[in-house]
Chains A and B, each alone.
Chain A
């Protein structure tokens, strides 16, 4: 088939299936997978064997995704996550491998069992992270836990790929099997050195070569040249990594981290984003295409059994590790379901072990089918979790009113997003006697805030029905303080359309975001920082009718108090020596802060320029004189 008609089929399948999947609330991953199944050899038959080749090409999307993840991850943040990466990651990988190995050893030679167990313990970065990002859960505890585990797996791929040849029993060396890398001809110690050298080269190049290069290219003012050089960068890294036998994804991730602090971070991000999206989509289509229904049809029970056992073991281990790291039940379930599939690395590992003749070709394709099925099931499981399990066991969307017959009182202020910007506003308003209704999609935070007496709705604030039930019809002010500028923009667009009387006060992350918000005609735009969040809260109180100078002074006092609280709590932070997730730590600090707010009534004792006291004093005096 020629290139054009192939492209036509892939694109058409994506364009048709993904919007339908999205509309049905299933997320884009599932849409792509179904598109693949649809055009694959077993339904419409547009794509045959070449699906495999497409997948090799599309794996590049995973590489790009890791580069972009690296870009968003500043080294300091990476360092803070080190405990959960090492702790959660090693626990998950180790336990899963051991348990699967014990099961498999009953029917396989130990070498086969080992290789298969290792491959099956990997999870899919593409599916899990894509889904978590789509749901805006990257900063939640479950999001961070998932990320930690996936990152550890990416790193672990290196030693695993190094170990696999040792399991080969037929004395096949890699070079014979066709999987040839440049450094294979070197002795072992030299291979190890070249490994470190490659990582070192990426680091040094990122620092001293790539940034100056990008600077030169940016000067040409040719946008497509910048895009080209961004692509060049990724391809070069992938090549280098393959040369030394490392995972290209890991190399790309490293390069991303190195470049995270450079001034071209946003440029690179926005240039590569569409490529990543398309390639990942292609990758998922490839997974769908490669599901061998003929094989499944010939041994349905075996494959179904394998899928169930593998996913059950993985899920059990994940849930257990989540428990150890004290994830709450609904967060733990999300984390468990998000990572319970077998990942794309397994494809690589299975074909590698097949080439090494560790496992038979039949088992190789069976295992690949199992992998593809688990990947397809994951979005369905997540959907099931979201629609059926979570509403029953997790955080309820609406706050439970303490008294059922109490008339629903709607607050006049709604805060969407209770991150560092929104929370400052909520705290300040509360200190000044104004209770706001809060919308947030982080279940841990919602629970905490409800415990602290806030009225909180759990869910996606851009949803019209959630805004309605939070009282947007009667409220005066909606504060859009969501961390992601895109989501925030979506929120204000919806709010303006359906609640034209609602005054919108909006957080802007950057100058550019502010311009975008101004373009759609908004006026109350606050470019984010601690001070602008307080300023926004001051303006909220003023527009609710309080005197501007009085609340301005309250704002100044609040900033001073907050600074003191910061210093006090900085020491508190290191008290706990437990293994603790960064996000969980943040909640502990936030809880402490909120209860400190309550203990110290911030607006009390402001008697400045209030002659009431003088009058009372005089009255008392004259009584004594009598």
Chain B
């Protein structure tokens, strides 16, 4: 059975980001995908909480797609988390509306993959730095998958970017088709690696 996927995209200067438009262009034009350009929708940060909750209820997989600014997400995505994931709805007593849904981050980062390492420039792995998102998902009884990442955006060649973009499209198609072996996916540190491993 096909799954419904909600992509919550947050980029304060989307018009200047070639890599993110490359990734966004991979989203299949299928009715199972809902793309939400948060900065375009809520330039004044005034989020329509009820509508966002309704969207969450209608989807099986949620993707937070954003540039990895200062080891985190741009402020509007944090605002979305703060406003939408309400106590008694998303977590806490009676907060079971998100139970069983899947969620992960799709990020673009300036640093190379090797820089996100105990011995690297950034001292922590991406998975470690994403811990707040992982724990947020867990508190909301969702399954958190490893991130999909486009690394080294500052030095990336066009071919490299296009290759990663292709992986992203195959990942999204796999999710739509319902081929989602959660345990197996969680054993990888990046969803990119799972896509390559699966030979999709």
Contacts and interface: CB of A to CB of B under 8 A. Distances in A.
Contacts of B153: 611
Interface centre among A546, A547, A614, A615 (most CB of B within 10 A): A547
Interface centre among B13, B110, B153 (most CB of A within 10 A): B13
A611 B15 contact: no
A614 B152 CA distance: 12
Contacts of A548: 39-41, 43
Contact of B16 (A546, A551, A610, A618): A610
Contacts of B12: 549-550, 608-609
A555 to B, nearest CB: 9
Contacts of A487: none
Interface in B1-33: 11-17
B43 A609 contact: no
A546 B12 CA distance: 13
Contacts of B39: 547-549
A540 B13 CA distance: 19
Contacts, number: 44
Interface in A545-576: 546-552
Given A614-B154, A615-B154, A618-B154, A608 B13 contact: yes
A551 B39 CA distance: 11
B16 A609 contact: yes
A503 to B, nearest CB: 18
Interface string A182-224: 0000000000000000000000000000000000000000000
Interface in A579-626: 608-612, 614-615, 618
Given A609-B13, A610-B13, A611-B110, A547 B155 contact: no
Contacts of B40: 547-549
Contacts of B69: 609
B44 interface: yes
Give the interface residue-count category, chain A: 10 to 19
Contacts of A550: 12-13, 15
B22 to A, nearest CB: 14
Contacts of A614: 110, 154
Nearest to B74: A609
Contacts of A615: 154-155
Contact of A552 (B15, B43, B110, B154): B43
A611 B154 contact: yes
A614 B69 CA distance: 13
A549 B16 contact: no
Interface centre among A549, A610, A611 (most CB of B within 10 A): A549
Interface string B158-190: 000000000000000000000000000000000
A609 B17 CA distance: 9
A101 to B, nearest CB: 68
Nearest to B38: A549
A547 B15 contact: yes
Interface string B62-104: 0000010100001010000000000000000000000000000
A551 B155 CA distance: 29
Nearest to B67: A609
Interface in B50-67: 67
A282 B7 CA distance: 71
A546 B13 CA distance: 11
Contacts of B16: 609-612
27 contacts: A546-B15, A547-B15, A547-B39, A547-B40, A548-B39, A548-B40, A549-B12, A549-B43, A549-B76, A550-B13, A550-B15, A552-B43, A552-B44, A608-B12, A608-B13, A609-B12, A609-B74, A610-B13, A610-B16, A611-B16, A611-B153, A611-B154, A614-B110, A614-B154, A615-B154, A615-B155, A618-B154
Given A609-B12, A609-B13, 4 more contacts: A549-B12, A549-B39, A551-B43, A609-B11
For the complex of A and B, list the 6 residue pairs with the smallest distance between their C-beta atoms, beginning with the closest: A609-B13, A552-B43, A549-B39, A549-B43, A548-B43, A610-B16
